[in-house]
Chains A and B, each alone.
Chain A
């Protein structure tokens, strides 16, 4: 009877394609929007995760997220170094400054200042130039998408000179770095250069990056730093989590994406549910005939569930395929690079599609269960 169920389903090709389209569109909308949402929110803390050699971030206790860190006195660095369990601690700067390109074009940039000696927090992957060139005077390294943003359409050329806060800067390398939340270029330089580029203020350093001694637990050492210095000390994952939570709770992003995702679900329920229900209604007399012939309710329910599952599986597969294709294509676009289809999004949307299919079939099942087989004797 499974064969019969599928034959009935695919008999009217227009209706069958309409059903599959509804689920496909819904799947595409939900999985694409969920992935973009997760990707964009993750971008708000992506630069935290890019720093792979430090397990603890220390900052002003009022810091709520990565982009809002007031400076702390340089003496705090020594205090952190003195906390038991800390293997090493270095200064780190992150701020937003104004760059002026060759033609006098002003552009905002994100500047990250690395410890002169250790270069802790330096990009992990270079596309052009060498990390050691960062030790040259006025040297800066830029991320690839930042280069394309500042010099669109131009091939990578090292040695470019431009100004940061009216001071000379020389491009010595292009690196691979995670895209920030605001799509601004990310520039890396030494901390001593930051002192020239950053706006003059009493303190400049806004983060201390630290790692723990062998055998120490990062969370415990962070707690110890907090107790002994009064500063906020978080593990890398803890700081990333705080930043993400801030973005989720203090911006309209979740609402905006939530509405689109909900629309995807509603479209799925409305289109797939309604079409499937209409499909069942149109086949009622056939279901009635099958009942009269001796097909029991359990078997009819299994037939309907099989039909709904087939539509759901096909629509889900096509929709996920479309989303994967979308991200494959958009990854070649600089400002969209780094966004991808998360398996968690795929699994979640799979659950939503299952719910859509179940809702769609429930109405149909109810209709077939209450169907009097005697309906077959009523001429239409």
Chain B
């Protein structure tokens, strides 16, 4: 299976390395690297159930996402956003259609190969953080490295460095129950990025946070998640964080309704941006 990955992984897109401190704090617009296609979906259909009880969650959805930017997926509840990212992440199989992620046709991967593809290339951020309550922040953040088979000491060292990047230097040994919602989401961000994935999928990352924490988390995405060879997809209901995305994909009734390209944010626009939901 490893051989399969190796042959399918595009040679032109090297795995991203953690950026130096200066680059992490630089605005997205200053990162000088040509974007490449990260996701290509064609005619995706997903049906749940059969017969009268069946539900068509996706109806021939097409989507293209490039690296180096944040793509927001918005739309009303039940429009198929979660189903779409589940298929892109290889967590669900489409009923019909094609999905190519980072140059790999997911439909051609065996289940084991798909699991390994996810482990190597995709980072996840969940609405409810999904941190293991019995693990410290550093232990939670190092999980993807352990999954990849790295030694624990090395994994913990890297996760501490990542926690430092997200501003949790003094919280390495804190349990999730000892952290605020915003801090927990930062741990989740560290966990999602610690293995340097080329695709970051975030499901409502600000939904469980208060206004200030939500703003901080989105700002953090801009600083640490965006990378020339990484694509970031964020599913959100929160219209007040839309200005953080470079592309906004509006979905409705299982289809992509329209795609909006947003100009890079300026300091002035950020100052006058509407507050995130409280």
Which residues does A use to contact B, with CB under 8 Å?
1, 3-4, 7-8, 10-12, 285-286, 288-296, 372-374, 376-380
Contact = CB atoms under 8 A, between A and B. Distances in A.
27 contacts: A1-B146, A4-B132, A4-B146, A7-B134, A11-B132, A285-B128, A285-B130, A289-B126, A291-B91, A291-B115, A292-B124, A293-B118, A293-B119, A293-B147, A294-B116, A294-B119, A294-B147, A295-B147, A296-B116, A372-B91, A376-B126, A376-B130, A377-B85, A377-B91, A377-B126, A379-B204, A379-B208
Contacts of A288: 130
B46 to A, nearest CB: 11
Contacts of B262: none
B252 interface: no
A374 B124 contact: no
B199 interface: no
Interface in B63-113: 82, 85-86, 89, 91-92, 112
B244 to A, nearest CB: 20
Nearest to A294: B119
Interface residues of B, number: 32
Contacts of B112: 296
A-B complex: 10 closest residue pairs judged by Cβ atoms: A294-B119, A11-B134, A374-B86, A374-B91, A289-B130, A379-B127, A373-B91, A296-B115, A294-B118, A377-B82
Interface of B: 82, 85-86, 89, 91-92, 112, 115-116, 118-120, 124, 126-128, 130, 132-135, 139, 143-144, 146-148, 152, 203-204, 207-208
Given A377-B82, A379-B128, A293 B143 contact: yes
A7 B120 CA distance: 24
Nearest to A286: B132
B47 to A, nearest CB: 15
Given A8-B132, A295-B115, A372-B91, 6 more contacts: A1-B146, A3-B152, A11-B135, A294-B144, A377-B85, A379-B204
B82 to A, nearest CB: 5
A296 B143 CA distance: 14
Contacts of B134: 7-8, 10-12
Contacts of B147: 1, 290, 293-295
Contacts of B119: 293-295
B120 A292 contact: no
B88 to A, nearest CB: 11
B133 A11 contact: yes
Contacts of A372: 91-92
A292 B89 contact: yes
B203 A377 contact: yes
B92 A293 contact: no
| Interface-centre pick from B89, B124, B134, B204 (highest chain A CB count, 10 A) | B134
Contacts of B152: 3
A9 to B, nearest CB: 8
B86 to A, nearest CB: 4
A286 B135 CA distance: 12
A7 B131 CA distance: 13
Given A289-B124, A290-B147, A7 B132 contact: yes
A4 B140 CA distance: 10
A373 B119 CA distance: 13
A379 B120 contact: no
Contacts of B124: 289, 292-293, 376
Contacts of A295: 115, 119, 147
A291 B127 CA distance: 17
A374 B85 CA distance: 9
A379 B139 CA distance: 23
Contacts of B128: 285, 379-380
A295 B132 CA distance: 15
B144 to A, nearest CB: 5
Given A292-B91, A295-B147, A379 B207 contact: yes
Nearest to B203: A377
Contacts of A294: 115-116, 118-120, 144, 147-148
A287 to B, nearest CB: 10
Nearest to A292: B124
B277 to A, nearest CB: 15
Contacts of A8: 132, 134
Contacts of A377: 82, 85-86, 91, 126-127, 203
Contacts of B143: 4, 290, 293
A239 to B, nearest CB: 60
